[in-house]
Structure 1
Amino acid sequence: MRYFAFIFLLFSVFACSAKGERVFKVTSDSVRFKSADGKIVFGGTLSKPVGKKSFPTLVMVSGTGKQDRNGTMAGHRIFEQMANYLAAQGIAMLRTDDRGVGTTTGVYETATTGDFATDALAAVAYLKSRKDIDPDKIGLMGHSEGGAAISIAAAESKAVKFLVSIAGLAMSGLDAQLKQNADLVAASALPDYDKKRSNEINAIMFKTAYRYANSDSLEMKLNEAYQQWKVKDDAYFKTLNIQFDHFRFPIYSYVQNSKGAWYRYFIRYDAEKTIRQVKVPILAINGDKDLMVAADDNLANWKKFASEGGNRKVTTVKIQGLNHLLLPCESCDNKEISKIQAGVSIAVLTLIKDWIYKTIR
C-alpha cells in the first residue's frame, strides 16, 4: 500500500501552562495522502509537539455535515483549538477536510458512516508510514456521528490503539433518531399538542425507514405511512377546536433524504454489535446540555456495549453546562452557539490529555 505526502510548514506556536507543566512548541504541517484505493486525496493538518521523540497521535473524525479540518461550526474552530492545545501538551493530532471540502477530493453527499470509518483508517495508515509517528500510539477521536465512525474503524482494524469520543454517538441509528428528535421537540417552544404530533409522526417515519432501508420500495412505504398518519392526525386536530393548524412535517425533504445512501446506512447502524467488537481503551465525554447526542444514554452505551464484548477499559465523563460542541452554554439551544464567546471547555481538554497519558504508555 503506497501513500504520498506533501508537507508544508504552516506555523509554529508556543503555549503556556497555568499549572507549570511542560509545554511544547507546536508545529502544524499541511499534509496530503491517498485513500487505500487511490480514489480520494485527503488534505489535512498534522499538529505535533517539537522536541518530543515519541508521542501519542490522534486522528480527528468529524460529525454529520461537511466540515473542514478546523471543525469550523457557528464561528468556532473546534478541532483546531483541540489540536493546538493537545500538541502543546505533547499529543499530536491529524485533522482533515471532509470529502469534497477544502483540499480533499471525493463526494461527501454519497458517502456513509462506514465510508467515514474507512477514511479514518486511511489517515491511520498514512501516519504509520511516517517515521516521526509511533505506530503503537495512534488513536481516533470522534465528534457526534464521528463516534460511530471511530467505533466501526476500531472494530475493523488493530492499527487503532485507543478511542476518544467527544459528544460521540454510541446509540444505534434508529434509537439515535428517536432520542435526538424527542429531545429537540421537548426543548422547543411548540405547544404540547404539537409536541405530541411531532413525536408521533417522527416515530412512524423513522421506524418505517428502518424497516425498509434496504428495499427499493422505501420511498413508497414512507409516503404511505405519512398519508395514513395524516388522515388520523387531521381528525385529531379537529377535536382541539383550534382555528389554524401551523404544524407541518417536511415529508418531501425527509423522503428525499431517506432515499440516500447515508440515511439508509445510518438508520440501520447497530451500535451494540459494533462497540462489542472494540477491544481498545475508550474515553467518552459528553456535556449534560447536549440536545443532539444525549449524554446519559450514550455514555451508558459506551460502557455497556464494550463490556458485553469483554472490554472494561472504558472511562465515561459527563460535564455540567456544556452543549454538543462542548462549549459552556446558558440556554444551550442551537441558536445560542454563534453567540458563545468561549472555546471548548478546558475541562474537556484536560480530561483528554490526562487520560491519554495515563492510558497510552
Structure 2
Amino acid sequence: MKTIKSLFLSVASLLLYGITSAQSINQREVIFKSKADSITIGATISSPIKAGKYPAIIIASGTGPQDRDGTMAGTKMFARIANFLTPKGYVVLRMDDRGVGKTTGEYRYATTADFALDVLGALQFLKTEKNVDLRHIGLLGHSEGGAVISIAASQSKDVAFLISLSGLASNGLESLLVQNENLVNTSPMTAVDKKRSNEINRLMFATAFQYAKSDSMESKLNAVYNYWKEKDDLYFKSLAIEHDHFRFPIWSYVQQAIGPWYRYFISYDPQIFLSKVDVPILAINGSKDVFVDPINLNYWKQYSRSGLYGKVTTILLPNVNHLLQPCETCTPAEYAKLGEIHESTLGSIVEWLEETVK
C-alpha cells in the first residue's frame, strides 16, 4: 500500500484565477496517484481565495471517458458545479478519466471498482492540502459515478458525505434492463420493433449476467442470439410486412459484453457496498431521466446504512433529464439544446451542505 506522501507526485506551478458569482476563486492543476497501481491522475482543484479550512468535494463521472470539466452535450457539468460551490466555501476536485487529458491508463480496461480507486487516490491527495477540513471530505457522483462513490465510501472511513446526481444505486442488471427499455420506448421505432428490441435486449442481458464470470460468455451470447433470430424471422414473416428495418448489433454488443467493464457492471450489487455506508447522503434525480430511473432514489434509502438512520435526503425534480436539465421531450437528442444544470438544483445542493456538513 502506498503512503500518503508517495501518492503525491507533482503540482503544476500555474495558478489560475476565475471570477464566479462575482467572487474570486483559486484554480490549480494537480497530478496525483490513484490507489490503483501505475495510474496517475490529472485534476483541477477549485478553492476559496480566502485562507481557511474548508469542506471538500471530489467529483466522480459517469459512464464513458470524460474530461475533468464533465463536457457532455455541449455542457460542462463538473466545471459548473465547482464554480458554483467554491465561492460558497467548498474545495472541489474534478479529474480527467483514465486515458483522457492528463490522466494515464486506458479507459476500456477499467471497471467501476477501478474508478473508485481513482477517487480514493484523490481523497488521499486532498488530505495533504492545507486548506481542506479533513473531517468533511465528501464525494459527488453523476450517473455511474453513484456506484463509484458507493464503492469508495465503503472502503474509506475518511468519506464524510455523499452526493448523488442522477446516480446509480440499483444493481447492474436492473439498470441495463430499465435504461434500455426507457430508451427503446421513447424512440421513434414502430411498436413491432420496440417489442422485438426489448425482447432481445432482455434475453442478451440475462445471458451476459449468467455468464459474466465465465470464459464461455461470447459463445453463449452468440448461441442465444442465433436461437432468438430463428424465432424472430418466423415472427416477422407472419406480420406480412414488406421490409424488415430492425437490426440488433450482435457483434458490437458481444465485444462490449466480454470486456472487463461490462462484466463487472452487470454483476454490480449496490447492497454489498451501501450496507457499509452510514454517512449523510443527498440523492437528486430528474423525473424524466431515461438512463438512471428515478426509482434509484428509493434504493439509496433502502440499501444504505444511512437510510436505516434517516440520513438520506432525496429530491425528485419534475420534468428534468439525466443531465439535470429542465426538458421538453426529455430524450438524449434534446440534451445539446437545453444548456447547463439549473441554478436552483445547485442551490439545493448548497442548502443541504450548509445544513448537513457545515
Q: TM-score range by the shorter chain?
A: over 0.9
Alignment of 1:29-48 (within 5 A): 29-36=28-35, 39-48=38-47
Alignment of 1:249-288 (within 5 A): 249-288=248-287
Secondary structure, aligned partner of 1:184: helix
Q: Partner of 2:337 in structure 1?
A: 339
Q: Alpha-carbon deviation of 1:345?
A: 1.0
User: CA, structure 1 residues 82+277, in 2 after alignment: closer, same or farther (shift >3 Å)?
Assistant: same
2-side partners of 1:190 and 1:150: how far apart? Answer: 36
Aligned residue type for 1:358: E
1-side partners of 2:195 and 2:169: how far apart? Answer: 26
2-side partners of 1:144 and 1:301: how far apart? Answer: 14
Aligned residue type for 1:355: W
Map Cα deviations across residues 49-102 of structure 1 (whole Å, 9 max, x no partner). Answer: 121512211000000001000001121111101100000111111001001100
Q: Alpha-carbon deviation of 1:4?
A: 2.5
Map Cα deviations across residues 313-347 of structure 1 (whole Å, 9 max, x no partner). Answer: 0001011122111112211111111222x311112
Unaligned runs of 5+ in 1: 17-22
Contact 1:277 1:309 in 2 (8 A): no
1-side partners of 2:122 and 2:87: how far apart? Answer: 21
1-side partners of 2:35 and 2:65: how far apart? Answer: 21
Contact 1:98 1:104 in 2 (8 A): yes
Contact 2:27 2:47 in 1 (8 A): yes
Contact 2:171 2:267 in 1 (8 A): yes
Q: Partner of 1:87 in structure 2?
A: 86
Q: Partner of 1:19 in structure 2?
A: none
Aligned residue type for 1:348: T
Q: Alpha-carbon deviation of 1:109?
A: 0.8
Q: Partner of 1:358 in structure 2?
A: 355
User: CA, structure 1 residues 15+38, in 2 after alignment: closer, same or farther (shift >3 Å)?
Assistant: same
Alignment pair present for 1:292 and 2:291: yes
CA RMSD of aligned residues (A): 1.5
Q: Partner of 2:121 in structure 1?
A: 122
Give the counterpart of 2:18 among 4, 13, 34.
Answer: 13
Contact 1:59 1:94 in 2 (8 A): yes
Contact 2:36 2:118 in 1 (8 A): no
Q: Alpha-carbon deviation of 1:11?
A: 2.5
User: CA, structure 1 residues 180+79, in 2 after alignment: closer, same or farther (shift >3 Å)?
Assistant: same
Contact 1:43 1:104 in 2 (8 A): yes
Q: Alpha-carbon deviation of 1:311?
A: 4.0
Alignment pair present for 1:301 and 2:299: yes
Contact 1:9 1:27 in 2 (8 A): no
Aligned residue type for 2:337: K
Give the counterpart of 2:9 among 1, 4, 9.
Answer: 4
1-side partners of 2:340 and 2:310: how far apart? Answer: 32
1-side partners of 2:15 and 2:292: how far apart? Answer: 34
Q: Partner of 1:228 in structure 2?
A: 227
After TM superposition, which residue ranges in structure 1, 4 or more long, deviate above 6 angstroms? Answer: none
Q: Partner of 2:191 in structure 1?
A: 192
Q: Alpha-carbon deviation of 1:37?
A: 5.3
Q: Partner of 2:160 in structure 1?
A: 161
2-side partners of 1:318 and 1:261: how far apart? Answer: 33
2-side partners of 1:244 and 1:37: how far apart? Answer: 51
Alignment of 1:199-210 (within 5 A): 199-210=198-209
**Aligned residues: percent identity?**
49
TM-score, normalisation: structure 2: 0.95
2-side partners of 1:50 and 1:293: how far apart? Answer: 36
2-side partners of 1:344 and 1:191: how far apart? Answer: 32
Q: Alpha-carbon deviation of 1:308?
A: 8.4
Q: Alpha-carbon deviation of 1:14?
A: 3.3
Aligned residue type for 1:323: N
Alignment of 1:205-216 (within 5 A): 205-216=204-215
Secondary structure, aligned partner of 1:11: strand
